[in-house]
């Protein structure tokens, strides 16, 4: 082969080898950046797991307090119903008696109530 041709190919091979070496260096730097980014993402994920755990615990606490509040309100409503039952039954019975009396006398119920309890007629 011709010496000039050999020199030309040697120059081309050196150039390609240099470019390949440059690409390897860039790839190595890129690989380091990717690995560093992956480590940072893992750290962030671990931090988020802790925060999610705190939120979940808070939600469970609110659920427990809500359930306790429901029981308390149900208990209070039950006591309120009991407290109003006797007076209501008494008033209801008295009103039934007045209505019966008004029916027997063919009079208006309000007139009987006014007469019975001393309310002036309007």
List pLDDT tens digits, range 73-112. Answer: 999 999 998 888 877 778 888 888 878 877 778 778 787 7
Q: How many whole angstroms separate alpha carbon 18 and alpha carbon 26?
A: 12
The token duo for 109 is 């119920």
Percentage of the chain surpassing pLDDT 90?
57
pTM more than 0.75: no
| Every domain of the chain and the residues it spans | 3-117
């Amino acid at each position: 082969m011709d010496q000039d041709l050999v020199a030309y190919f040697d120059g081309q091979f050196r150039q390609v080898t240099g470019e390949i070496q440059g690409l390897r260096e860039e790839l190595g730097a890129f690989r380091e950046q990717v690995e560093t980014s992956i480590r940072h993402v893992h750290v962030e994920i671990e931090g988020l797991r802790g925060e999610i755990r705190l939120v979940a615990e808070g939600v469970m606490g609110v659920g427990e307090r809500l359930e306790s509040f429901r029981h308390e309100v149900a208990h209070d409503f039950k006591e309120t119903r009991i407290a109003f039952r006797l007076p209501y039954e008494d008033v209801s019975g008295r009103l039934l008696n007045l209505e019966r009396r008004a029916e027997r006398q063919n009079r208006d119920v309000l007139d009987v109530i006014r007469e019975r309890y001393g309310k002036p007629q309007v």
